[in-house]
Structure 1
């Protein structure tokens, strides 16, 4: 890990705190088991919510390859503390389930990932009942979604992005109109000849069409994120923004690699760009974006982008179209 500042006591973090406010205490319950007939292993989720508040929106979170419902606390706990009911499934590619690249079931994981998120929405009564004191405090009609890496690919399916078939034509529409907006964190870009042979063989979903991504979306990319899956540079992770009509905003984190400062977990070994300030800024900017996406009258996103432009030019930049 690089020698980066071990502090979030910075001007930009304080400025963004003025926008998103202080957090509430959070209660988290796991595992919560949902019905998933035919799934290779049972579907378990984690539910995190603030202990107070009414009309709380729902935030679905899809983890990156190998992780589980126990990951990504730097983001999920923060979002919950700022008023979201965050639900995290353990997808079939989790290391705890042992379904690896050579497992014959692996080829269906990318569609099962999307199905996991739909199951959560379909069974939200069970989700809500699992958390003491949460019943009656959730607005199930306001749903957003976020995901990292493979999780971002999973979420973009809900937002409208499709997968190109062998003839180069967009495949099945997996969009879910219950989802109002999304955040794509380090989302992989186009496939084709620039995709390395391993990825072409094992990851058929790495051939997206973003033309159908029409749901409001914030794309987040690190300008030092060099994937082993593609010969493209860090710009590969901006394809959803460049080509997705609904992806109207791009947050570029300067110096950010694939873990974007450490979002998979605190002190996770896979973080190559550990930077608590970067994570803190990402926490707050995504919160502001999602609040604005759910309520057009909410000015949090405009205030947050202005704060970054004025105080945080060393850490990132927001582009809009």
Structure 2
């Protein structure tokens, strides 16, 4: 008879918000939340871009606690801005240039955060001297995935000219349930989000893990089915990896918020798997642990009941 199983408690996490940064020309101050492990040095950074959605606080620095906490427990400093597109700012910024989606500003927020990373580090208690400024990744969900794609090198065309928002300080990315190509979206959505129509993944050069759900069928955008969300993998150059989660819908189990009404596939086990796999991918991509990704894949994407399937190029 086997003895009792020892449960290892999660690593303690410190979370501090808001760190308020004044950005010239931005119609509202840039507010960020910073979450980090309570101990450790040489900590890599994940810039997390929130989605759009209907809830006021999921699309802000107050959202995405399930995945942000898991990443911080895994040893990352997670920095979450409230983009101008946040529902919490919708009334205040309804008439601002770029409203309501502020697609360009969302990417520029991340570049500004990196410009002021030393200020953020010394503002957050107990964080000074603990960040590795050379190991930076970006992650984003849904519209935040679109933002991540731009920072990883994808381009859109505006007024006939390509817009390049590639951030070279970002060494790797995690793209979660992002929109795909523009030529297959419905005309009504193309009129509402014209920047979606011109996305070009052929310039998306930075290594990235693309995460999709095999039941994420965004019929309001396209008739292409769940494969649409794999376009950042299919149409971008390598090195790229695609993780397709079994039975997952757009919320990927609930990464945007605990017990959130917007999550149609609530599954804490799936969220835990996403947190483990994505942090392992970044640990390997950022040269922290060359074996972390393969070990995580062996544990979670093989056997009789895999949480997902992985391909790479």
Unmatched segments (≥5 aa) in structure 1: 1-13
What is the DSSP-based 3-state SS (H/G/I as helix, E as strand, rest coil) of the residue aligned with 1:179?
Answer: coil
Aligned 1:35-54 pairs, distance under 5 A = 35-54=22-41
Instruction: Give the match for residue 200 of structure 1.
Output: 190
- Correspondence for 1:290 among 264, 271, 282: 282
TM-superposed CA distance for 1:187, in Å, is 1.0
Instruction: Give the match for residue 180 of structure 1.
Output: 171
Change (3 A) 1:41 1:198: farther
Confirm whether residue 213 of structure 1 aligns to residue 168 of structure 2. no
TM-superposed CA distance for 1:255, in Å, is 1.1
Instruction: Give the match for residue 305 of structure 1.
Output: 297
Change (3 A) 1:141 1:38: same
RMSD: 2.2
What is the DSSP-based 3-state SS (H/G/I as helix, E as strand, rest coil) of the residue aligned with 1:140?
Answer: strand
Contact kept? 1:219, 1:247, Cα under 8 Å? no
Aligned 1:148-297 pairs, distance under 5 A = 148-165=141-158, 171-192=162-183, 194-206=184-196, 207-227=198-218, 228-295=220-287
TM-superposed CA distance for 1:131, in Å, is 1.6
What is the DSSP-based 3-state SS (H/G/I as helix, E as strand, rest coil) of the residue aligned with 1:277?
Answer: helix
Aligned 1:4-23 pairs, distance under 5 A = 23=10
Instruction: Give the match for residue 9 of structure 1.
Output: none
TM-superposed CA distance for 1:25, in Å, is 0.8
Contact kept? 2:85, 2:101, Cα under 8 Å? no
The range that moved more, 296-305 or 68-77, is 296-305
TM-superposed CA distance for 1:310, in Å, is 2.9
Q: Provide the C-alpha distance between the structure 2 equivalents of 1:61 and 1:163, rounded to a whole number of angstroms.
A: 21
**TM-score normalised by length of structure 1:** 0.88
Q: Which has the higher contact order (CA 8 A, sep 6+)?
A: 1
The range that moved more, 157-166 or 146-155, is 157-166
Change (3 A) 1:278 1:312: farther
String of CA shifts for 1:248-292, please: whole Å, max 9, x gaps. 211101111110111110011100111111111101000100000
Aligned residues: 300
Change (3 A) 1:229 1:25: same
Change (3 A) 1:221 1:108: closer
Q: Provide the C-alpha distance between the structure 1 equivalents of 2:238 and 2:91, rounded to a whole number of angstroms.
A: 33
TM-superposed CA distance for 1:312, in Å, is 6.5
Change (3 A) 1:220 1:289: same
What is the DSSP-based 3-state SS (H/G/I as helix, E as strand, rest coil) of the residue aligned with 2:262?
Answer: coil
String of CA shifts for 1:9-39, please: whole Å, max 9, x gaps. xxxxx9xx9xxx9742111111110121111
